[in-house]
Amino acid sequence: MTETQELVRRFNEDEAVWRCYEHKRALRRLLGSRSPMPEDILDDLDWQAAERECRPVRAIGFLHP
């Protein structure tokens, strides 16, 4: 893969994570989260959830059973 293609792939992945994060954050605010945790911690949890959902896991190597 060329460097340009790699940069485009990373940008697209980051954009997908950001859109997912914004959606989760907007839903939490719309529904009125009643969590006792501070807002910055809730934002961080939303970001981590978006990363898990949208960012592919790249594996290197082979699995030998």
* pLDDT tens by residue, 14-50: 999 999 999 999 988 888 877 788 888 988 999 999 9
Query: In degrees to the nearest 10, what's the CA dihedral of 51, 53, 59, 64?
Result: 140
Task: Give the mean model confidence (pLDDT) for residues 9-14.
Answer: 92
CA dist., res. 24 & res. 28, Å (int): 6
Indicate whether 8 belongs to any domain.
yes
Kindly tell me if the per-residue pLDDT of 57 is higher than 80. no
Domain of 10? 3-54
Indicate whether 64 belongs to any domain.
no
In the structure, what pLDDT confidence band is assigned to residue 65 with cuts at 50, 70 and 90?
Answer: low
Tell me what pLDDT residue 1 has: 67
Q: In total, how many domains does the chain have?
A: 1
Indicate whether 35 belongs to any domain.
yes
CA dist., res. 46 & res. 53, Å (int): 11
33 CB-near residues (< 8 Å, 6+ apart): 42
6 CB-near residues (< 8 Å, 6+ apart): none
Residue 55, both tokens: 């960012």
Indicate whether 63 belongs to any domain.
no
Indicate whether 41 belongs to any domain.
yes
Indicate whether 59 belongs to any domain.
no
